[in-house]
Amino acid sequence: MNLRLYFALWPDDGIRLQLARYRLQLAREGNGRAVFPVTLHMTLAFLGDVDATLLPVIEKIGGRLEAAPFNYAVNMAGCFPKAKVAWLGAKETPWHLFDLQKNLQALLTAARLGHDTRTFRPHITVVRDIETPFADRAIAPVRWPVDQFCLVSVRTGASGPEYDVLKTWRLKG
């Protein structure tokens, strides 16, 4: 059996509510479909379809990753016109986040896992299938204290993607 997996930052309910406020307005602006608030996340490394027997190896990688907690100031909204998504993100990405993603990707590559060839562009997708992209702009900041990351599986449900957080690790340091 295959699982579609990725590592992600998953906000807690309080942060999610603050981020979710922007979805409907940006969906109207971009003429797109707002994602469900419960699905809001930032992908760190996309693994694609992976044989379920590899799950213990992947979980071991999550456990080996050493990275420090950090604050992420979500203060920008914008679009990826080609992917037709609108996102929330930061004007300045903390180097702790780049470090976390780089170290994770290195562990995955060493284990010949992860087929993510995209350059890491930290973002939280809030709207899909946009028809009218808008220019990047500042938004009222949401302070997200990031102290954990997780392994997520995604499958196609009747009303869009359904996500299961399989395992969570705390950031320490």
Distance of closest approach, residue 170 Cβ to ligand 2AM, in angstroms: 21
> Residue 61 or residue 85: which is nearer to ligand 2AM going by CB?
85
Q: Which is nearer to ligand 2AM, 101 or 172 (CB)?
A: 101
- Interaction between residue 101 and ligand 2AM (CB under 6 A): no
Query: What contacts 136, CB < 8 A, 6 or more positions away?
Result: 76, 77, 78, 79
Which of 7, 44, 47, 125: binder of ligand 2AM (CB under 6 A)?
125
Residue 27 touching ligand 2AM (CB under 6 A):
no
Q: Is residue 22 part of the contact set for ligand 2AM (CB under 6 A)?
A: no
Q: Which is nearer to ligand 2AM, 53 or 117 (CB)?
A: 117
Q: Which is nearer to ligand 2AM, 40 or 61 (CB)?
A: 40
* Dihedral angle computed from the Cα positions of residues 168, 141, 122 and 135, in that order, rounded to the nearest 10 degrees: 150
The burial class, CB within 10 Å (0-12 / 13-18 / 19+), for 124 is buried
Range list of β-strands (E), 37-170: 42-51, 70-80, 85-89, 124-128, 137-146, 148-157, 160-170
Q: Does 43 bind ligand 2AM (CB under 6 A)?
A: yes
Nearer to ligand 2AM, 43 or 101 (CB): 43
Q: How far is CA 16 from CA 42, 95, 116, in A?
A: 11, 23, 25
Q: Is residue 6 involved in binding ligand 2AM (CB under 6 A)?
A: yes
Q: What binding mask, one character per residue, do residues 52-71 give for ligand 2AM by CB under 6 A, x or -?
A: --------------------
Q: Which residue stretches of 8-94 are H helix?
A: 13-20, 23-30, 55-64
Site residues for ligand 2AM per CB under 6 A: 6, 43, 46, 85, 116, 118, 125, 154
